[in-house]
Amino acid sequence: MILKYTILPLLLSIFSFSTLFAQNEQTEGDLVTYLEAQNITAKATDVGLFYEITKEGTGRKPKMGDYLALNFKGKLLDGTIFEESDSADPFIFQVGYRQVIRGWDLGIREFPLGSEGTIYIPPNLGYGKRGAGQQVPPNAALQFEVEVLKILTEQEYDEYMEELERKEQAAYEAEINTQFVKDKKLIQEYALSQKLRTKRTASGISYVITKKGKGDNANAGDELEVTYEGYLLDGKPFDATKGKDTYKFPLGSRKVIKGWEEGLLHFAEGSEGILLIPSKMAYGPRAIYEENVAIPANSVLVFKIKVERIKRAEKEEVGKAEGRKG
């Protein structure tokens, strides 16, 4: 079972031990000034953060290693909200394991189960001099409104993560299927615009053989040697063999994208043709930007391809030899 932690992006703990407990008098003074100006009666801790409990809980306080479920809202001191949980889907993390910023990890341990309140965090226990993206500026003090909902057992945590994994997988598959419908339409429109009489497989790959080869089509296990040109639907090239260079690979060994694995089963040695590959059979929602290759997420790919040579799988050669002996 693979468990995937649901850590919201801005809550990732990014800090160095050299600044972990460094005190910044100006920062702490600014935070105190803010609390006084707002008439907030907050308790101070020995590490420089403050907290206020507005609703007392009846359970025990969280401790290191606990799996904690809560609702939260992260704000700058001017009230700007930079991140918050979904009330229908509480945020869960393990206390003391650097899954959230240090100030929150320490401050939440002052809140008994069922309590509500706010943690006030100086920059050195938050995102420090770097800030966090465009939402949290450098050297920003933070305030987190929190509601401690539940301390989970390890079994409850595992069950929660398994359910979350199922939900995320279902959402991913729904997104892929929606994109697949779009891709098939795009492929059809492209084929019509290029006057290509293509055939389409059940997986959504469309292909056309522009020059027939000799012998049987390629099979899984065969080693193929090909030349190719890869394009996006707008005609922009993203990859190709050059000059007399070829690309060799064993078919069916997952060395190439799924669109090639399936599409090239329709090519014989010497065949030339075009493959139109939906994104789910290529790189899906993952964008590829490497050296001179640029493929946006969810891209349909067009390949002009020629199978230069096919080296048949050894078992097939053995079978033919045995047949000749008979």
Q: Over range 132-151, report the average pLDDT.
A: 93
Residue 35 · residue 115 · CB < 8 Å: no
What sign results for the dihedral spanned by CA atoms 247, 286, 178, 166? positive
Which of the residue ranges 81-90, 175-184, 220-229 would you say has the lowest mean pLDDT? Answer: 81-90
**pTM (whole model) above 0.85:** no
Same fold yes or no, 9-152 and 182-325: yes
The topology under which CATH files domain 182-325 is Chitinase A; domain 3 (3.10.50)
Residue 59 · residue 113 · CB < 8 Å: yes
φ/ψ of residue 319, rounded to 5: -60, -40
Residue 152 pairs in a beta bridge with 67
Residue 135 neighbours by CB distance under 10 Å: 16
Is the domain 9-152 a CATH 3.10.50.40 member? yes
* Domain ranges across the chain: 9-152, 182-325
Residue 164 is predicted with a pLDDT of 84
Residue 140 is predicted with a pLDDT of 93
Query: Residue 173 corresponds to which tokens in the numbers above?
Result: 């598959």
Task: Look at strands 43-44 and 91-94 and give their pairing.
Answer: unpaired
Q: pLDDT digit string (tens) for 22-46?
A: 333 335 668 889 999 999 999 999 9
